[in-house]
C-alpha cells in the first residue's frame, strides 16, 4: 500500500524538482494553447455584441482574466513565501521568486487593458478610484517584492525579507476584491460572484472563464520555466547541477 | 455570424484602437515573457558549461 503512494516531499528538493518541472512545462503550454484558442474563439466569434457598449466590451475577455490572475498569483506567491519562511524550504522561496514577475505582468496588463476600456466608456484613461488605486498598489507590491529580493546579496536573507513584504501585502487583495462594494466607485461591480448568478450571457461568461484558464496554465508554464533558471542560478555550486546532461560537456 | 467581413472584424464597431490596443499589448507580453525566460535559462546553462569545462582542464595532469 505505502509503496503506491508518491513521496511528495521528495520533490521539495530543487534537485528532484528540476527535471520534474521540465517534464510538466510542455503539458501546461498545450493546455494554455487549447484554452486560449477556445477562449478567443468565443470572445470574438460567438459572444454577441453588447447592447450598451457595442464591440468595445470585448476587452472584458482579457481585462477580467488578467485582473483575476494578478490577485490569484499574489496569493499563491505569498503562500509559497510563507512556506519558505516557516519551513525554511529553499524551493518554496524560489517558487515565490519565480511567480513575482508574472504576477507583476498580470497586474500591469490589468491596468493597461482597464485604461483602454475606461477611455471609450468613462472618457478617461485613469481615475483615482478605489478599485484602480488598489490594483496599482498591488502592482507596486510586486515591484517592491522583486526589488527588495534583488537588493539583498545573500539569497536566503533575501527570501526572508521578501516573504515579510509578500505576507504584509496580502491584506491588499481583499481590498481590491471588495473595493467596488465598500466604496462608491466608477468601476462596475463584480460580473461574476460566488453568491449570485452571473449578470451576463452564458457565452460571455464561458469566454471569460476559458481565457482565465488559459492565463492560469500560461502562468504555471512560465513560472516553472523561470524556477528552473532560478534553481540553476542558485544551486550552481552543487554537484548535481554539474552532472546535468545539459551542463556536462 | 457577427462579422460581415474581415474589415468589419478589424474595425470592432469603431473600438478598434481600444480592443486591439488591449489584446495586442497582452499578446506581445505573453510572447516576450517566455522568450526572455528561455534566454535566462540558456545563459545560466552556458555559464555552468563553461565552469565545468574549466574545472576539467584544471584537473588534467600537466
**Per residue in A133-184, pLDDT tens?**
999 999 999 999 999 999 999 999 999 999 999 999 999 999 998 888 888 7
Query: Angle at the Cα of B48 (from B53 to B58), degrees rounded to 5?
Result: 30
pLDDT confidence of residue A246: 85
Answer yes or no: is A137 within a domain: yes
Among chain B, residues having any CB pair with chain A shorter than 8 Å are 1-3, 9, 12-15, 17-19, 21-23, 25-26, 29-30, 33-34, 37-38, 40-41, 44-45, 47-49, 51-53, 55-56
**pLDDT classification of A216: cutoffs 50, 70, 90:** very high
Classify residue A171: in a domain, yes or no.
Answer: yes
Quick check: is A126 in a domain? yes
Find the angle CA(A137)-CA(A143)-CA(A148) to the nearest 5 degrees: 120
pLDDT at B55: 86
Q: What is the pTM of this model?
A: 0.91
Give residue B53's Cα distance to chain centre.
30
Residue A127 has pLDDT above 50, yes or no: yes
- What is the total count of domains within chain B? 1
Q: Domain of residue A223: give its range.
A: 60-242
Give the chain B residue nearest A101 (alpha carbons).
B33
pLDDT of residue A185: 74
Q: What is the mean pLDDT of residues A11-37?
A: 93
Q: Is residue A248 part of a domain?
A: no
B41 to chain A: nearest residue by CA? A229
A199 confidence band (pLDDT: 50, 70, 90): low
Residue B59 lies in a domain: yes
Per the CB < 8 Å rule, is B18 touching A236?
A: no
**pLDDT value, residue A201:** 74
Q: For the segment B7-59, what is each residue's pLDDT rounded down to a tens digit?
A: 999 989 899 999 999 999 999 999 999 999 999 999 999 999 999 888 888 88
Between B4 and A9, the more confident residue is B4
Structural contact between residues A39 and A210, judged by C-beta atoms closer than 8 angstroms: yes
A116 contacts B18? CB cut-off 8 A: yes
> Is the pLDDT higher at A4 or at A118?
A118
The average pLDDT across A210-235 equals 96
pLDDT at A1: 44
Number of domains in chain A: 1
Given this model, what pLDDT does residue A72 score?
Answer: 97
> A124 lies in a domain?
yes
* Structure confidence by residue, pLDDT tens digits, A46-62: 988 888 888 999 999 99
Is residue A236 predicted with pLDDT exceeding 80?
yes
Q: ipTM for the complex?
A: 0.90
Judged against a pLDDT cut of 70, whether residue A193 lies above it is answered with: no
Q: Do B18 and A232 touch (CB under 8 A)?
A: no
Residue A238: inside a domain: yes
**Burial class of residue A64 (count of CB atoms within 10 Å of its CB; 0-12, 13-18, 19+):** buried
Q: Is A194 helix (H, G, I), strand (E, B) or coil?
A: coil
- Of the listed ranges A114-128, A163-177, A195-209, B9-23, the least confidently predicted one is A195-209
Q: Which domain holds residue B52?
A: 28-62
Other C-beta atoms closer than 10 Å to the C-beta of B44 total: 19
With CA atoms as reference, the chain B residue closest to A62 would be: B23
CA A158 to chain centre: 21
Instruction: Using an 8 Å CB-CB cutoff, list chain A residues near B14.
Output: 54-56
Q: Which residue has the cell 478567443?
A: A40
Amino acid at each position: 500500500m505505502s509503496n503506491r503512494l508518491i513521496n511528495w516531499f521528495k520533490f521539495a528538493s530543487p534537485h528532484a524538482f528540476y527535471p520534474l518541472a521540465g517534464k510538466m512545462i510542455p503539458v501546461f503550454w498545450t493546455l494554455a494553447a487549447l484554452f486560449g484558442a477556445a477562449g478567443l474563439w468565443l470572445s470574438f466569434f460567438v459572444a454577441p455584441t453588447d447592447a450598451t457598449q457595442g464591440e468595445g466590451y470585448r476587452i472584458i475577455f482579457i481585462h477580467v482574466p488578467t485582473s483575476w490572475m494578478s490577485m490569484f498569483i499574489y496569493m499563491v506567491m505569498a503562500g509559497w513565501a510563507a512556506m519558505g519562511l516557516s519551513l525554511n524550504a529553499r524551493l518554496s522561496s524560489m517558487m515565490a521568486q519565480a511567480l513575482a514577475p508574472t504576477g507583476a505582468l498580470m497586474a500591469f496588463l490589468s491596468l493597461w487593458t482597464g485604461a483602454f476600456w475606461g477611455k471609450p466608456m468613462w472618457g478617461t484613461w485613469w481615475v483615482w478610484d478605489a478599485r484602480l488605486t488598489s490594483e496599482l498598489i498591488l502592482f507596486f507590491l510586486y515591484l517592491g517584492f522583486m526589488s527588495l529580493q534583488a537588493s539583498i546579496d545573500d539569497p536566503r536573507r533575501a527570501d526572508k525579507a521578501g516573504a515579510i513584504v509578500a505576507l504584509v501585502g496580502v491584506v491588499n487583495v481583499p481590498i481590491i476584491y471588495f473595493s467596488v462594494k465598500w466604496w462608491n466607485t466608477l468601476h462596475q461591480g463584480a460580473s461574476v460572484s460566488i453568491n449570485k448568478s452571473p449578470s451576463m450571457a452564458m457565452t460571455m461568461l464561458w469566454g471569460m472563464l476559458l481565457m482565465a484558464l488559459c492565463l492560469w496554465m500560461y502562468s504555471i508554464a512560465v513560472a516553472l520555466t523561470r524556477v528552473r533558471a532560478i534553481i540553476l542560478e542558485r544551486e550552481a555550486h552543487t554537484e548535481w547541477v554539474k552532472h546535468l546532461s545539459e551542463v556536462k560537456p | 455570424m457577427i462579422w460581415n467581413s474581415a474589415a468589419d472584424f478589424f474595425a470592432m464597431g469603431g473600438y478598434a484602437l481600444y480592443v486591439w490596443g488591449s489584446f495586442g499589448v497582452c499578446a506581445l507580453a505573453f510572447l516576450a515573457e517566455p522568450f526572455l525566460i528561455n534566454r535566462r535559462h540558456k545563459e545560466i546553462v552556458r555559464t555552468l558549461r563553461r565552469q565545468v569545462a574549466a574545472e576539467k582542464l584544471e584537473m588534467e595532469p600537466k
